[in-house]
Chains A and B, each alone.
Chain A
Amino acid sequence: MSRVLSLDFLGQAVRVALPYMGAAMGGVLSERAGIVNVALEGTMLVAALAAAWGALSTGSVVVALLSAALAGALVQLVHGTAVVHGKADPIVSGLAINLLALAGTRFLLRALYASSSNSPTIPGQSSSLLRDPASWVVVAVVVATTWTMTRSRFGLRIRAVGEHPEAAASVGVSVPRTQLLAVAAAGVAAGLAGAWLALDQRQFSSKMSGGRGYIALAILVLSGHRPGRAAGIALAFGAAEALELVVQETAKVPHQLVQTLPYVVTLAALVVFGARRRTTAHG
């Protein structure tokens, strides 16, 4: 029990939650603009490779973060263009991007570093959570997204375009332009989350996003597309996963049972929040 009420435990929960948070912020920016975004997973993966490439070729964390943000924005712009201008089904486009990202990163990895599974190690060593600049960048993404959505003119336009595109257009807001800017911002957010993964490991490895972009989608649904709530739920998911590890390590219960904990929490949250949302919708 003392293990769970410690500062270390909180740190662990934050560690697990950071990539979820960044990706979920990307989801908020894009979905509030009316673009359904299942491409977060692929965006993170491509950006993680870009970060590793940036760090390996220049040795600079800043370059790594910038490459990841740029790569993320580009991937999301492909998605945005297909949906906004090509009128493509966003689910199909998103899944295609995830597939392309999975195979494409392996292809590029092979071309750059002669292995389709692992990049070389980035020299130097990773710093602890609080001293890692990438962690603070992800926290900044959460703050910036919350501010943008609630306080800024750009956020207001995103919401208007997402909720009622005709109304937004009637007052002179360009719907396609706003949507493309929103997905580009989403790409930056999810891309920085991907960069965190690569910089934390000092390496890129194939599939390192490990489904975190999909978990971010679940968080997004639970949060009702609100950035502050999404960050809170991401933290709760992080705590559930950290708890799973502590219980598995110390308790005598079968570990197969304990490993289901994060999924049970997700399911329970979906049921509780889902039920509540339905009642408020009717009331």
Chain B
Amino acid sequence: MIFALLGVVSVSHYLVVGAILFSCGVVCMAVKRNALGVLMGIELVLNGANLNFVAFGSNYLAADGKSPLGLDGEVMALFVILLAAAEAAVALAITLNFYNNHATVDVDRADDLHG
């Protein structure tokens, strides 16, 4: 009964969800003026990539029951999560420093190095 409609879900469906997350993240990175909004876009992009890693490495979704990527996909997803945490910490520190110096988080105002 559980496997009766498992035909619905395949790797492609996970890839589509990952593509939606990735596209939303790219738009978020491009259009947000708040530096924290840009950070959230980066998180969305990394999350979409992570979803693809897990879907490719999943034995549960593999058509023959044995994913070619196997455990490597999950290990990569773990590394991505860790590096996203590190990146968020540094980016947030830079944002706070910018806010201390300029009293704003608008990335359009960060043009001190503009020639």
- The answer to whether A and B assemble together is no
